[in-house]
């Protein structure tokens, strides 16, 4: 097949890499791609928001399948435009992508479908929002309704912090139109993790569980980021929880969307809070009473979770995506290898704040059968690969056990360097604490 991957980060490099490993031998393009995708595919100089150009180029090149990585073009209707032009695409149409594009819409769908989740209310008036805080207790979660580049969620420990978050969003307009509405949400106790489901409009097949690290520094300290590492599987998701997640969370959402005339195809990413005796001795405290609650939904592959999940998939990855886009998904389309994977993000000094670009990266040529380096924010300059983002590389290690995978990832990242580079030294610590306990 001729396949176009839309995006330029580590997620898109991992998708491209996995497609090139299929035995069928696909021809893969990336728009716009990065210095890593350029090594294994053909980069196309089209931005992710240039919908008309993507559609026209795909028509001219007779692309068999377009795989959309980031959320913004999904919300903007890229899949709608591709399908209107007769081009198959993996990803939800704009109406379905509202599961990520509008937290209010996602909460409404969950409530209608009976999905276990935190109680929440939506406000546009700051005074009304502040008056509602008393019924939620502390800590309390304040969320901007729309896409805010992963920064639109505040966990307020004090009433003053909660009121400030409300004012920042509704009065100060700190997130622009994304913060024109805010959700006040019950705080969920427990351990957070992710399940990504491949969906074909009717059916869903779960991909391996994963868990990422949002805080920038060791010990889960410092500001939130787009993710400083991830690992798969996540021991917090035990086998007995998978039927609950599929039958009580994923499938009811697909059914409710279809009831509203929305055929959802692509990835439905469930950010989950697991509340059991190991993650919270008090037991389930959410209003739902369920040991697993939905924190949020995303409408695409996660990043950096994808970099830890895809190395574990066997079979034909392209056929999996194609069958989902055609509505012919089968359980056997997902083949999971008996192994573990762990990803460490190499970041630029200053991230998630301001950072310098253009720093030469060394150590990328090291080859290993048990590790792979995905480029997140890189570029080519005068024959050298340099930094171009805050998250620069996703270094993934694989092994028979999670411990082996983590050790391999750290071995590989120790041989890579650029000026100002830093990374967390405790990836998968929650998994090890849980299994050792």
Bridging pattern class, strands 27-32 and 42-43: parallel
Per CATH, the architecture of 2-91 is what?
3-Layer(aba) Sandwich (3.40)
Q: Percentage of residues in the chain with pLDDT exceeding 90?
A: 88
Mean pLDDT of 104-108: 95
Write the pLDDT tens digit of every residue in 150-189.
778 889 999 999 999 999 999 998 899 888 999 999 999 8
Give the span between the Cα atoms of 280 and 35, in whole angstroms: 43
Record: fold of 125-180: Dna Ligase; domain 1 (3.30.1490)
User: What pLDDT does residue 285 have?
Assistant: 53
Task: Report the C-alpha gap between 413 and 437 in whole angstroms.
Answer: 28
Q: Which residue has the tokens 């994977």?
A: 341
So what CATH class is 191-336? alpha beta
The residue length of the chain stands at 437
Strands, sheet with 340-347, edge to edge from the N-terminal-most edge strand: 211-212, 229-232, 340-347, 391-399, 371-375
Q: What is the structure's pLDDT at 209?
A: 98
Q: Which residues of 230-256 are buried (b: 16+ CB within 10 A; e: fewer)?
A: bbbbbbbbeeebeeebbebbbbbbbeb
| Domain-wise residue ranges, the chain | 2-91, 125-180, 191-336, 340-436
Average pLDDT, integer, range 409-413: 97
Q: Give the pLDDT band of residue 286 (cuts 50, 70, 90).
A: low
Candidates 3.90.600.10, 3.50.50.60, 3.40.50.300, 2.130.10.10; CATH matching 340-436: 3.90.600.10
pTM, rounded to two decimals = 0.94
Backbone angles phi, psi at 354, to 5 degrees: -75, 150
Determine the 3-state secondary structure of 266 from DSSP: strand
């Amino acid at each position: 097949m001729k396949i176009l991957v839309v995006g330029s980060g580590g997620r898109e490099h991992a998708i491209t890499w996995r497609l090139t490993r299929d035995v069928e031998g696909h021809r893969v393009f990336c728009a716009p791609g990065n210095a890593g995708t350029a090594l294994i595919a053909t980069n196309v100089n089209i931005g992710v928001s240039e919908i008309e150009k993507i559609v026209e180029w795909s028509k001219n090149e007779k692309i068999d399948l377009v795989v959309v990585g980031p959320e913004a073009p999904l919300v903007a209707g890229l899949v709608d435009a591709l399908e209107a032009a007769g081009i198959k695409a993996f990803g939800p149409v704009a109406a379905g992508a509202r599961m990520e594009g509008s937290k209010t819409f996602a909460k409404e769908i969950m409530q209608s479908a009976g999905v276990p989740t935190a109680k929440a209310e939506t406000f546009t008036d700051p005074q009304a929002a502040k008056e509602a805080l008393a019924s939620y207790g502390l800590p309390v979660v304040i969320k901007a309704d729309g896409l805010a580049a992963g920064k639109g969620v505040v966990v307020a420990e004090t009433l003053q912090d909660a009121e400030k978050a409300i004012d920042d969003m509704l009065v100060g307009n700190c997130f622009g139109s994304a913060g024109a509405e805010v959700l006040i949400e019950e705080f969920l106790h427990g351990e957070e993790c992710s399940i990504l489901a491949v969906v074909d409009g009717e059916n869903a097949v779960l991909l391996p569980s994963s868990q990422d690290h949002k805080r920038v520094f060791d010990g889960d300290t410092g500001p939130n980021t787009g993710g400083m590492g991830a690992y798969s599987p996540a021991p917090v998701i035990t086998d007995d929880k998978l039927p609950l997640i599929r039958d009580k969370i994923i499938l009811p959402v697909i059914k409710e969307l279809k009831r509203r005339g929305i055929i959802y195809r692509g990835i439905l990413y469930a950010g989950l809070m697991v509340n059991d005796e190991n993650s919270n001795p008090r037991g389930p405290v959410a209003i739902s009473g369920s040991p697993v609650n939905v924190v949020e939904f995303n409408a695409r592959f996660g990043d950096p979770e994808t970099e830890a999940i895809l190395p574990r998939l066997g079979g034909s990855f392209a056929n999996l995506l194609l069958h989902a886009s055609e509505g012919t998904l089968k359980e056997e389309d997902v083949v999971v290898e008996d192994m573990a994977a762990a990803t460490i993000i190499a970041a630029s000094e200053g991230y998630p704040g301001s950072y310098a670009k253009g720093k030469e990266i060394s150590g990328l040529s090291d080859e290993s059968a048990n590790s792979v380096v995905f480029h997140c924010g890189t570029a080519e300059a005068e024959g050298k690969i340099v930094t171009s983002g805050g998250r620069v590389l996703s270094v993934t290690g694989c092994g028979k056990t999670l411990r082996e995978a983590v050790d391999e990832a750290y071995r590989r990242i120790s041989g890579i360097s650029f000026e100002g580079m830093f990374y967390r030294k405790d990836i998968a610590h929650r998994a090890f604490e849980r299994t050792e306990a």
